[in-house]
Structure 1
Amino acid sequence: MRIEALQQFLMDSFMTLKGTVSLFANPTNTLSVYDIEDGLRNDKSTVLSIEYIKSQPGVMDMVRDRYLAPLPDIDTLLQSPPDSLGYAYATYIRDNGFDPAFYRNLSVEDDTSYLFQRRRQTHDIWHLVTGFGIDEESELGLKAFELAQTRSTMSAILLAGGLVRTLFKTPERLDYLLDRIAVGYRMGMQAKPFLAQRWEEDWEKSLAQWREELNVQVPSTYVP
């Protein structure tokens, strides 16, 4: 192994280990998720995931263009039609006290870093279009959707961790979690590729129209 490759391997391993330890210590720490994902960027599973994503219709156009939208202006989006994606996004960010720039930025140097960055940039849009909430089980439902669409190693790790954590800490919520995971995976398999969408160029399109065009069936409320 050449010295450069060895250095990269050691750095990736350190990032993965650091993120894993941090995630187990504090499952709500988003930065630990990024540490793990960044540490796995050269792993075989990630390479295969990126190949799978790029094989989907419309994604290669995004990859070639390195399409990344500027940070949205929430006040401007609040002037959008009430049924639009832009208005839904702005109210979602405002009402939950979120920061639209919460995600860790990556220097886009290759297809992998581009797709990582684009997925991070549009995470909250995925929430809105799929209809998944922000409770832990719904977050994992979205991860199941993401796994179906991207074969992401990080999604699989978070799903596995969520199942284990629920079994030991909140076993009474296991049925709800399994329902959200099953629903999310089916939705992801049926929907058109989200990473092929230039959401920010069509903020005024209605949320209902986006869902219809992408074949998204919003999950019904869970009933035990």
Structure 2
Amino acid sequence: MLQKFKQISAVFTAKKLGKFGDFAILKSDLFGAKVAPEVAEKLQSVEGYYPLIDLDKLRQYPLGTFGREYADHMQMNHLKALNISPELVDVAQRNVFALRYAVTHDIFHVLLGFDTTYAGEIGVLAFAAEQNYSKSLKISLKLAQFLYPILAPQQSQMICANLNKGQKLGKKADFLLGYRFEEHWQEPIEELRKSLGLVEVTPHRHLA
């Protein structure tokens, strides 16, 4: 009980301090995010892998590069990169899935062409569930299918469309959770999508 209380306290402290990477991984760890053994095996390539993401540096990359597209997405949506503090190395090594899923969430938004609305979020969730990252994501998707149209009825049609699109992309694409995206910031994003099997992505466009 005491250990669980410490975990909860650490989650709220990370959020209060604006350490959103720490908050994300601690929250996943608290709720016991688990993966099947075959998924854990596919994540061996990213064990202990959480390089610092410097958004200021990525904004200097040419238009059309993966890094620039990611940095622009983060800036436009007032998001911060989910960097992990050194003191959480034990949590990171113990729960590779929690770490990698938290860090790559916004990367998936960019690569899959989904915005940050409810419709966009269900697209990313549907993709992750279709790729069989964990049973908990499949449960979350079922809840989202029920709740999101209620929370955002004006997005109902797009929610349904993105659900189908996310599932379709998830079936065709490579297993992406174990991919070292951070080593490909300078690549043209369309070439990266093609190499990952995301050939049918139509990026969303923000209105000025």
User: TM-score of the superposition, structure 2-length normalised?
Assistant: 0.74
Aligned to 2:201: 218
Aligned residues: 191
Aligned pairs for 1:171-186 (under 5 A) are: 171=153, 173-186=155-168
Q: What amino acid is the match of 1:175?
A: Q
Aligned pairs for 1:179-218 (under 5 A) are: 179-216=161-198, 217-218=200-201
Please give the alpha-carbon distance, in whole angstroms, between the structure 2 residues aligned to 1:104 and 1:175. 40
Give CA deviations for 1:26-65 in whole Å, capped at 9, x if unaligned: xxxxx998787434427xxx3xx34232354xx32223xx
Seq. identity, %: 21
Q: What amino acid is the match of 2:59?
A: L
Unaligned runs of 5+ residues in structure 1 are: 1-6, 16-30
- TM-superposed CA distance for 1:140, in Å, is 0.9
Greater relative contact order (CA < 8 Å, ≥ 6 in sequence): 2
- TM-superposed CA distance for 1:102, in Å, is 7.6
Quickly say closer, same or farther: Cα 1:196–1:170, change in 2 above 3 A: closer
Please give the alpha-carbon distance, in whole angstroms, between the structure 2 residues aligned to 1:108 and 1:77. 28
Quickly say closer, same or farther: Cα 1:180–1:118, change in 2 above 3 A: same
Q: Secondary structure at the match of 1:100?
A: coil
Q: Is the 8 Å Cα contact of residues 118 and 152 (structure 2) preserved in structure 1?
A: no
- TM-superposed CA distance for 1:135, in Å, is 0.8
Aligned to 1:62: 46
Unaligned runs of 5+ residues in structure 2 are: 9-21
Please give the alpha-carbon distance, in whole angstroms, between the structure 2 residues aligned to 1:81 and 1:206. 9
Return the index of the structure with the highest Cα Rg: 1
Quickly say closer, same or farther: Cα 1:100–1:111, change in 2 above 3 A: closer
- Alignment root-mean-square deviation, CA: 3.5
Aligned pairs for 1:1-224 (under 5 A) are: 11=4, 37-41=28-32, 46=34, 49-56=35-42, 59-63=43-47, 66-70=48-52, 72-101=53-82, 107-109=89-91, 113-166=95-148, 168-171=150-153, 173-216=155-198, 217-219=200-202
Q: What amino acid is the match of 2:61?
A: S
